[in-house]
Amino acid sequence: MFREMRRHAQLLPEEETALIMKNASSGVLAVSGDDGYPYAVPLSYVYDGECIYFHCAVTGHKIDAIRQNPKVSFCVIAKDDILPEKFTTQFASVIAFGKAEILTDKDEKIAALRMLAEKYSPGVDGAEREISGSLDRTGVVKIVVEHMTGKEAIELTRQRKNNQ
């Protein structure tokens, strides 16, 4: 159902792919937008090992697009070092495909918002107050990941093989 990576040698192991997803600070959500145009938007997120969660407004382009077509992709760039003298970059990135679901269950929304608070504001007091005070006007989306791959620059792949 999903395409195989063309440069299979650069495929990251599943564990490293999951680590990138857990540790990156932002990603780009791509949806099928208005009039067939793609709509890609950067956002903060949390990955629990199976699903991606993000919060947003309860109305807007993202929400409308997800209601129209829940199939989405999500991309994270973990490394992007430019090597001008070699006309290339050393990169590591992940792309995930899945189905987005606008959460309606209060407990599930709260759990996702707690994960987001823990990732972005660990140990900061007031998260529960913030969550309860904004719950009704905050949308939360869950992306059930169906396929995910990580890829790195060929130079990094070669370094990895030389270090083994």
pLDDT digit string (tens) for 70-125?
Answer: 999 999 999 888 888 888 778 889 999 999 999 999 999 999 999 999 999 998 89
Could you give the CA distance from residue 27 to residue 20 in angstroms, rounded to a whole number?
Answer: 11
pLDDT (tens digit per residue) in 117-150: 999 999 889 999 999 999 999 999 999 999 999 9
Total domains, the chain: 1
pLDDT digits (tens, 9 = 90+) for 10-63: 778 899 999 999 999 999 999 999 999 999 999 999 999 999 999 999 999 999
Inside any domain, residue 24: yes
Token readout for 115 is 């994960």
| Structural domain contains residue 2 | no
pLDDT at 8 over 80: no
Nearest Cα neighbor of 63 from 86, 34, 93, 89 is 34
Tally of residues, the chain: 164
Beta strands in the chain (DSSP E): 27-32, 38-43, 46-47, 51-56, 71-83, 88-102, 139-152
Q: Residue 117: its pLDDT value, please?
A: 96
Q: Which domain holds residue 156?
A: 8-162
The span from the CA of 131 to the CA of 125, in Å, is 12
CATH number, domain with residue 56: 2.30.110.10
Q: Is residue 111 part of a domain?
A: yes
pTM over 0.95: no
| CA atoms of 63 and 73, how far apart (whole Å) | 14
In a domain, 3, yes or no: no
